[in-house]
Each structure stands twice: as structure tokens, then as C-alpha cells.
């Protein structure tokens, strides 16, 4: 392969965030309630004011555009738009509309996520995604949010990591029944929630298209890529099926499919293997593995051939920004290789624009931009300038460069 790979015209080059992780005071959401209750010992601290991006989003966008990014993926918050069942806040809708317009004014194309892990507490309390009418309720919210995305938005992600949302539904069921979660593994996705999420996705796609037929819709799956030991490929496929592949297959026929990759699970003859003692770990405890993205791209392209892919998240929690650059260099080399092989990838969004609330703690820092926890002052890290500049040159590093 050549030393450099030039990104095709129109390729999305951005960073990602989610509302609950950066806005602050998302008090009507289920996660806010989980944090106040200390639902599990994985919740070390509440999100509180987060990065105060509810007020500081113009500064976040100024920074991203100034760094060279051309795209910004952010989510809108259902709990703010529909604080109680059927009662909608036109103020919240206007707020997110201003964000879409603000992105455009700065030369950033907004990718809007409609659901990123958090739902209104009222929705979760009445059964969440497993409830028979969850798709109707989601579609009603998506319809109310139409003024946000009716113009100026080309890409909508309906639901972020539905597979992890279904895992969380299973965990919540166990915890509310007084049980406890396994220390080192995640529960399987809850089946009723999985069905509800697939239904809700389809309803959301139809709703978006009825208001804005030009919008390209998809959802983003947590890829949980595997690194099978020799001869354990079948075990890897069996591991991935209920956790990932079911959700990829549900996206067949969509305008695009998002993939999110951070690390890989080693698979042996009887399933997942522990991370080796001597392996480098990131601040989330995951194995350092830049090649996770390449594995996820190939698995996804093989599972749903013909569906365009967008990397909607990829990144690393580290206090060492040189490791972030090294990790991302490796991941981008794999991206270039997969694209050169013919995999149709239409965008790359780094997770995350900002150091933010990592679902229970501010300790794992994924950000390209540091955020002072008291003053909220933003300081771009060297990785931000390095990665943003690719938005101007449109040239990716390759394994041979
Ligand atoms: C989620 C993000 C999260 C990131 C790192 C993804 O699972 O979409 O909200 O912060 O991974 O854990």
C-alpha cells in the first residue's frame, strides 16, 4: 500500500460527544437517578455539571472547527425534550435547533444522535425498551424533535449502541430484583429490550424520513471485536452473535451503519479469556489494541455487505496524550487499509471531543480536549491539533508511512 491514503470527497471527519456526558444537570434522565441512588459500585461519582456544554456548546464547536474538523456528532436529550409523558418543551427543541444552526455557521456538519444511553426516567420506570409500546413512544419524541433536524442535518443516528442499551436493560432488571452483577463480564443483551430497540429504530427511521426525506439514517453498534486464538473462530462468531451481529443485521438496508470500536476480546476454546497480565491497559481497564477498529470494520463489512459504514466512535482513555496519538495512528492505518481493500467507509468520528463523564466517573479521559473540572476551561491536547489537521489535508497515515 502507498505511504498515504487520501480520503474521498465528502468523507466525514469529526469528533463525538453525548448529551448526558457533557451537558450537565440532566436531571430528568434515568441515568441521573441511577447516579443519585448509587445504583452500582461502578458509579463512583455523579455527573453533576459535567462539562457545562449545555451552555458552552458554542465554545466546543469553535474549538472543533478551528482544529480542522468538518463534522461533529452530538446527541439531543429526550428527557429535556419530553420531561413528562406527552408534554414537550419547545425551549429544549429550540436549544438543539440553535446547536444545529451553530454547527453549520462554523462549517461543521452535525450528525445528530437521538438516543445516547439516557432516556427520561418516566420511560424507564414504565418498562423501558422492553415495554410493548416503547417504539410508539420513541417515535412520538422523534416527531417532536423534527424542528431540530428538518434542515441542515444530513445524518441521524437513531440509537447509540443499542446492544449496550439492551445489556444495560438486563443489568437493571437484575439490580432492581436485588441481584448483583458479575465483576468482570457483562450480562447478555435483554431479549425483550433488543426486540423493542429494533422496532424503535425502524419507527424512528420512518418518522425522520417523513419530515426530512434527505436525512441519511442509521444506528451505531458497539462492535466488541474479537481476537480468536488459532482455531477458535467459531467460538468468536458464537460470542459475537447475540451481542453484536444481531444488531448489525437489523441495520441491513439502512443508509449507513455506525461502528464503534475500542478494544478486542480474546476468545479461547471455551469463550472469553482474561486480559494477559503483561498487556497494556487503558484507563477503562481495557486492553490497548489499536487494531480493534480494523477487526470491527472487517466483521461488520462481512456481516452486512453493501451497507455503507461510518466509524461513529473510536478512541482511548489515557492520561498520556502520546499514547492517544499512537493508538489513533494505528487505528487510522487499519481504516486506510480496509478502505483501500474496498470497504465502503464514509466517515470517522473520534471519541471524544472532550474529557467527559464516563458513565460513573470522570477518571477515564477519552478527550482530545481537556476540561478543567472546576472552571470548565477547555485546553486542546496535542492529539486534537494532530487529528483535526487531517480534516484539512484529507490524508490518512498508513501502516507503511
Ligand atoms: C459510548 C460512549 C462511551 C464510550 C467509552 C461507547 O460505549 O457510546 O458513551 O463513553 O464508548 O466507553
What's the count of helices (H) and strands (E) in the chain, helices before strands? 15, 15
Cβ pair 356, 24 in contact under 8 A: no
183 or 259, greater pLDDT: 259
Cβ of 26 less than 6 Å from ligand 1: no
313 within ligand 1 shell (Cβ under 6 A): yes
Q: Is the pLDDT of residue 7 over 90?
A: yes
pLDDT computed for residue 400 by the predictor: 67
> How many CB atoms are located within 10 Å of the residue 10 CB?
10
161 is catalytic: yes
pLDDT at residue 346 in the model? 98
| 304: enclosing H helix or E strand | none
What is the per-residue pLDDT for 184? Answer: 79
Give the C-alpha distances (Å, rounded to integers) separating 181 from 10, 41, 118, 169, 273: 44, 10, 20, 12, 19
β-pairing, 309-314 vs 345-351, is parallel
pLDDT at 372: 98
Q: How far is the CA of 254 from the centre of ligand 1 (A)?
A: 22
- Are the beta carbons of 49 and 25 closer than 8 angstroms? yes
Give the dihedral of Cα atoms 130, 83, 210, 344; nearest 10 deg.
-70
pTM, two decimal places: 0.98
Q: Tell me: pLDDT of 401 over 70.
A: no
349 lines ligand 1 (CB under 6 A): no
Q: Which of 327, 306, 340, 333 is nearest to 398 (CA)?
A: 333
Ligand 1 center–CA 261 separation, angstroms: 9
How confident is the model at residue 188, as a pLDDT? Answer: 95
Separation of CA 262 and ligand 1 centre (Å): 9
Q: Can you give the pLDDT at residue 397?
A: 82
CA-closest residue to ligand 1 atom 5: 358
Q: Which residue has the cell 465554545?
A: 59
56-106 pLDDT, tens digit per residue, is 999 999 999 999 999 999 999 999 999 999 999 999 999 999 999 999 999
Strands (E), 86-134: 109-115
How far are the Cα atoms of 54, 150, 211 from residue 302, in angstroms, in the given order? 39, 33, 32
Q: In order of start, what are the domains of the chain with their CATH numbers?
A: 4-397 (3.20.20.80)
Q: Which of 161, 313, 337, 358 is catalytic?
A: 161
Distance 167 CA to ligand 1 centre (A): 13
Mean pLDDT of 201-206: 98
Q: What is the average pLDDT across 260-282?
A: 97
Cis check for the bond before 352: say yes or no (omega within 30 of 0): yes
- pLDDT recorded at residue 252: 94
Kindly state if the Cβ of 351 falls inside 6 Å of ligand 1. Answer: yes
3-state secondary structure of 313: strand
In tens, the pLDDT along 222-257 reads 999 999 999 999 999 999 999 999 999 999 999 999
- Of the chain, the percentage scoring pLDDT greater than 70 comes to 99
Q: Judge contact between 5 and 395, C-beta under 8 A.
A: yes
Amino acid at each position: 500500500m502507498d505511504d498515504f491514503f487520501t480520503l474521498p470527497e465528502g468523507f466525514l471527519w469529526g469528533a463525538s460527544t453525548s448529551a448526558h456526558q457533557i451537558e450537565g444537570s440532566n436531571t430528568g434522565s434515568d441515568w441521573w437517578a441511577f447516579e443519585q441512588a448509587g445504583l452500582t459500585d461502578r458509579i463512583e461519582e455523579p455527573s453533576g455539571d459535567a462539562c457545562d456544554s449545555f451552555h458552552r456548546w458554542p465554545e466546543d464547536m469553535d474549538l472543533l472547527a478551528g482544529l480542522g474538523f468538518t463534522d461533529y456528532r452530538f446527541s439531543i436529550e429526550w428527557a429535556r425534550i419530553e420531561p413528562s409523558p406527552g408534554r414537550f418543551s419547545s425551549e429544549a427543541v429550540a436549544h438543539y435547533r440553535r446547536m444545529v444552526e451553530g454547527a453549520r455557521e462554523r462549517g461543521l456538519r452535525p450528525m445528530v444522535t437521538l438516543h445516547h444511553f439516557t432516556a427520561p426516567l418516566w420511560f424507564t420506570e414504565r418498562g423501558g425498551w422492553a415495554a410493548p409500546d416503547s417504539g410508539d413512544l420513541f417515535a412520538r419524541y422523534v416527531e417532536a424533535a423534527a424542528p431540530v433536524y428538518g434542515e441542515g442535518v444530513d445524518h441521524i443516528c437513531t440509537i447509540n449502541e443499542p446492544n449496550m442499551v439492551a445489556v444495560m436493560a438486563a443489568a437493571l432488571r437484575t439490580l432492581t430484583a436485588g441481584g448483583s452483577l458479575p465483576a468482570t463480564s457483562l450480562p447478555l443483551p435483554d431479549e425483550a429490550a433488543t426486540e423493542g430497540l429494533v422496532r424503535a429504530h425502524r419507527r424512528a427511521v420512518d418518522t425522520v424520513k417523513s419530515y426530512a426525506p434527505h436525512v441519511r439514517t442509521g444506528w451505531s453498534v458497539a462492535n466488541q471485536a474479537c481476537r480468536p486464538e488459532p482455531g477458535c473462530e467459531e467460538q468468536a462468531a458464537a460470542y459475537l452473535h447475540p451481542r453484536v451481529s444481531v444488531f448489525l443485521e437489523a441495520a441491513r438496508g439502512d443508509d449507513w451503519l455506525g461502528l464503534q470500536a475500542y478494544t478486542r476480546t480474546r476468545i479461547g476454546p471455551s469463550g472469553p479469556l482474561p486480559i494477559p497480565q503483561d498487556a497494556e491497559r487503558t484507563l477503562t481497564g481495557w486492553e490497548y489494541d489499536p487494531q480493534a477498529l480494523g477487526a470491527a470494520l472487517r466483521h461488520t463489512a462481512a456481516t452486512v455487505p453493501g451497507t455503507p459504514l461510518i466509524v461513529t466512535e473510536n478512541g482511548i482513555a489515557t492520561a498520556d496524550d502520546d499514547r492517544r496519538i499512537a493508538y489513533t495512528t494505528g487505528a487510522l492505518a487499519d481504516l486506510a487499509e480496509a478502505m483501500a481493500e474496498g470497504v465502503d467507509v464514509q466517515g470517522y468520528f473520534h471519541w471524544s471531543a472532550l474529557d467527559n463523564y464516563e458513565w460513573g466517573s470522570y477518571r477515564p479521559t477519552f478527550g482530545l480536549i481537556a476540561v478543567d473540572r472546576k472552571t470548565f476551561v477547555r485546553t486542546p491536547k496535542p492529539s486534537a491539533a494532530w487529528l483535526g489537521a487531517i480534516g484539512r489535508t484529507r490524508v490518512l497515515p498508513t501502516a507503511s508511512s
